[in-house]
Amino acid sequence: MLRYQWEDTVRFWNSKKGEDLEQVGTTSWQKQKFMHIARSKSFACVAEAEEF
């Protein structure tokens, strides 16, 4: 990432719109019932293994 891109990114996340999006993401994340913690395995492989 170039310096100007980094500065624009920081400026965005410190803005009201960025803070609002962060709150939406945090709320959505907290509502998840299942966490994907399969590491190098794909989610499909883990789901298939849990079926048996």
pLDDT attached to residue 19:
92
- Give the C-alpha separation, 17 to 12, whole Å: 7
* pTM for the model: 0.49
DSSP 8-state class, residue 42: -
pLDDT at 43: 67
pLDDT tens digit sequence for 1-52: 899 999 999 999 999 999 999 999 888 888 888 776 656 666 677 666 666 5
* pLDDT score recorded for residue 17: 94
Q: Show me where the domains of the chain are located.
A: 3-51
**Other CB atoms within 10 A of residue 26 CB:** 10
pLDDT score of 9: 94
Res 50: pLDDT: 62
